[in-house]
Amino acid sequence: VAMDESSNMLKLQVNQAKTGTMIDIHGAKLVDGIVLSTSLEQLSTGMSFAVEDTPFLSNGKLLNIQTISSQSVNPILFRLNNIDDGTGVYFRSTHLTTGTVLDLSTKTGNKMVYASNTASKGGKVFVIDGQNEAKGTLLNVRGYSLVKGSAVKITGFGKSIQSNGHLMEIVSNASIPTNGVVNVGADSVVKGTIMHVSLDETENGRGVHLSTSTGSSMNKYGVLLKIDGDSQKRGTLLDVLALGLVSGSAVKITTGNKAIDLVTKSSFLSSGAFQLRSDSLEYGKAWKISSDNFHRGSLLEIKTKSVAMDESSNMLKLQVNQAKTGTMIDIHGAKLVDGIVLSTS
C-alpha cells in the first residue's frame, strides 16, 4: 500500500534505441477476446493511459490505430453511458494558428454514394446521432470573441453544387415548426447585415428560391414569404436597389390571379397608401397599364363606400400647378365608331 507516483509495476527502459518496437503483441488467430485490459474501478483524478509527448514530433504519431477490415462497425468505441454534465472527449490546442485540431478525411477516396430518400444508406464523413433526444443542442459552436473569419465555413468547388448537389441540406419532417426550421437570432444587431448573399457572376441564376415544389395545399392563410415589422414605427421593411438597371424589372410578379393585394389599416395617410415617385423622369411614362386582350370590365377602378364625403373630397385629383402648357387629360379613341368617350351618372 506504500506505492506512490514514482512507483512502477513494470518499467521498460531502452534509452539508447532509436528505432524498433518497445512492446509487440501478436494474436494472429484471435477471433474474440481482449488484447489489453485494464481495470481501475476507483480511479478518480489519475489517468488510465498516458502518452508523454516529445518536442521533436513531426510526421510521427503519438497514437496510430489502423484496421484493414471492410466490415468493421465500431472499430474505435468510447462508452460514456453514465456521464451527466461533464465532457466525454476533449481536444485542447491553446497555441493553434493555422493548423487543424481535428481532421476527418477520406483522402483520395471517391466512392461515397448519396441517397436523399434513405439518408442512413448514404456515405457520411461525420455523424451526430441524437434522434431520441427531445431537448438540447446536438452541435454547439462557440465563437464569442470572433471578429474575423467564420464560426462555420463550408467550401465547395466545381461539381460539388451541380445537379442535385448541395453545400448544405436541411431536412425536417415537422408538420408544425412554430419557431422555424431554421432560426437566426440576432436581436443585439444595431447596424450591419444579418444575412448576406453574394452572386457577383450570376447570369440567369437565382439568389434565393422559395418554392412549394408540387405542393398545392395552401389556403388563403398560407404565406410563402412573410416580413413582420408590426412594432416598427419608422424605416423600410423591403428595400430593392437597382440603380444600374437599364432593362428588365426590379420587381416582377407573374400570377394567374390577383397579383398585389395592398391593405392599410391607417385612418390618415398624408402621403397615400401607395406612392410612386419618379421626380427625375423627363421623358416616357411613370405608370403604364397594358391589357391588349381586354374585353369587358375596368382597367382602372376607384371605389369607396364612404357616405362622409363632402365638397372638399376628391375621388381623383390631378395637380400640375407649375405647368404652363400641356394637357391634363388626353383621351385617344381614333377608331371609336360607337360608344361613349366619357360617361357620368
Length of the chain: 345
Q: What is the pLDDT of residue 140?
A: 94
- Contact assessment for residue 161 and residue 167, using Cβ atoms and an 8 Å cutoff: yes
- Contact assessment for residue 100 and residue 111, using Cβ atoms and an 8 Å cutoff: no
List the pLDDT tens digit at each of the 345 positions of the chain.
777 878 878 888 888 888 888 888 888 888 898 888 888 888 888 888 888 777 888 888 888 888 888 888 888 888 889 889 889 999 999 999 999 999 999 999 888 887 765 556 788 899 999 989 999 999 999 999 999 999 999 887 766 566 667 788 888 888 999 888 999 999 999 999 999 998 888 888 888 999 998 989 999 899 999 999 999 999 999 999 999 999 999 999 999 888 899 999 888 888 888 889 999 999 999 999 999 999 888 999 999 999 999 999 999 999 999 999 999 999 998 899 998 888 888
Please state the pTM of the whole predicted model: 0.75
Q: Which residue blocks in 148-211 are alpha helix, DSSP H? A: none
The grid coordinates of residue 90 equal 476533449
Q: What is the pLDDT of residue 250?
A: 92
Q: What is the pLDDT of residue 21?
A: 87
CA distances in angstroms from 234 to 167, 230, 237, listed in the order given:
37, 11, 9
The radius of gyration of the chain from alpha carbons, rounded to an integer in Å, stands at 36
- Contact assessment for residue 240 and residue 251, using Cβ atoms and an 8 Å cutoff: yes
